[in-house]
Structure 1
Amino acid sequence: MRFHIVKRDAFPLWKRLSFYLGAVVIALLLGAVVLMAIGVNPVDYYWRMFTMGMVGNKIAYRAFENYLKVFVPLVVTSVALSLAFKMRFWNIGGEGQFILGAVAAAAVAFQAGPLLPEPLTLVLMCLAAMLAAGLYGVVTAVFKVKFGTSETLLTLMLNYVALYFITFLGETKAAWNFFLEPSSARPIFTSFSSLAEFPGIPIGKFHLNVCVILAVLIGVGIYFYLKYTKHGYEIAVVGDSIGTARYAGMKVNRIILRTVFLSACLIGLAAAFKVGTAGILSTAITDDVGWTGIIVAWLAKLNTGVIFLVSALIGVLQYGSAAAAATFAQVDSSFADMLQGAILFLVLAADFFTRFRVVPSAKGGNSNGNG
């Protein structure tokens, strides 16, 4: 018997959500099997992971502050990537753009911090990070519109250029390298937190970092930008069909360059938030948000509001796994990566079956897409 795939004409929202929820549950069950195989009670582990170790913790507010430090760069990077993805420009260079943004922000902190007031230094850090990441990202767009190169391959390769660059900075002991601790015999990055650091708003013992508020404002701004502005409409048209956009008189190349630059600028801003909160540069400064942001954007179907929800859940998964790993020595923190991959794969599979169905095909027979 032969099978073929047909598109569904309609699929109720409650069924779609139940498919997604079922996919997540199956992924968690697969993770539970792995946990049991190494002698860990999955119920205890998942409880520790999803509560992020805050239950029964006298300083739980500290754990939540640290969780927000994971959430903010991830959500801003994911929103930024969704801009390019809506235009069907596959920006896989979030890691590299984040690194360049972080280096630029740290450079401003070291050079301007001793001379300027802290608020002005922080603003300059953000601007420098946005410019560095924006220019690094728009290079790919220039090659795309001029020579038709594959942005996927080029942005992917530029990730490694940026990675080797920050590795070079972290390993090169020299008089010019102000990123390193001068008093250390071996090369280690030095802190600039005394020069510039994003402040927190005290709410009792808890301190709400100002970057959280800025991230929410960015999300709201991008939502209105895409939904209610001419530029947002042009992005949607180019994403649907470049041919249609050109027929309508739109300057497609300019739209691509502008949107990719904005996408990379926002990734640079996320890097400024991260390095300006950590107060130090490192070779692992990205925490893989450039890669994870791709997953988040696609799981959220490029919907800005849903990106915040998915980022929050992925953040819980990542930070909670690290907290659980501190209790369960048998489980490495990379378990979160495996679980995240299983969730992505199964949710994508569920998404496929919400849009299509597989039907048997009799020889010479016809089938419609109603279902």
Structure 2
Amino acid sequence: MIKLSVLDYAQIDEHETPTQALNNTVSLAQCAEQLGYHRFWVAEHHNVPAFLSSSPEVLMMHLLNHTSTISIGSGGVMLPHYAPLKVAENFKILSRLFPGRVDLGIGNTKGTRIVNHALNETKKRFLDYKEAIQDLQGFIADDFPEEHRHHEVKANPAIDQLPTMWVLSTSVDSANMAAELGIGYCYGFFPYANRDALKTAQEASQVYRSNFKPSGFMEQAQISIAVFACIGDTPEEAEAFGRALDLWLLGTNNFSEHLTYPSIDTANQYPYSDEEKQRIENNRSRMVVGTAEQVRDQLLEQAQQVHADEVLVIPLMPGIENRKAGLKSLAQAFDNI
């Protein structure tokens, strides 16, 4: 049976305060837990006014404190920006306080030029991505060999249970790396309008499963897919949510045009150019839109084509009640298979 999970961006809706937006993320995590979702992850975004998940580890602590059983994770920490030691320390504190409930998802997207500069202007060099992940694993598991340059450095506190580790990616190379390092692989269907996304995902899945080596972080190969989902009670309502996502995905001015996530009314009233209309048409490949049953069927088809174990739903819909209703109806649709 395919597992259902959630990836949330801590979006701020129109006419809401940042405090309300963060509280909404807590409410959505609690809703997902009550509905039986497997994980609840929060993303990392910088300089995007409508997304408040700028520090996933801090938000994870808050979510772990306000939930009881659901796994809470990062989707993901953009590792090139940070020292592996510091990331390890953050997640070891989380794992000590909430053993067995912490997921460490990592990515290597550096973001826009100005964000990358602001986060890294004092750095002399970037670690190779694989080397950085290996350092992170060594700090978390406390198992550097004596010849390693960091073998005298310990990331505290000691923990009894390692967090699960995942690589978030859209590439075959990253899938192969995740397999070699013994960590999970999450393929994102949402980042780009890519006609070859399914083909790439299938190849990545095959490479990952063929080359997976068990580790202390993951004993068996695990593949998940992440997908934007707009779920409505009717096809018409779902399409209205989809139009709001259409507008958002235009990403004007590096996603700074909108200080909040656009409402249905804002999307309907927006003066789209012909070029923007074409981009919207292309971007529809990045999302699934429909009733819960329609979305369920599309997600199951994608998961089966990729041989995925799990689906992370990204419910980018305006209004917290709409997001909660979407998760509820989707969970019920999966229960009715």
Please state which structure has a larger fraction of its residues in strand: 2
Q: TM-score range by the shorter chain?
A: under 0.3
Q: Which has the larger radius of gyration?
A: 1
TM-score, normalized by length of structure 2?
Answer: 0.26
The structure showing larger relative contact order (alpha-carbon pairs under 8 Å, at least 6 residues apart) is 1
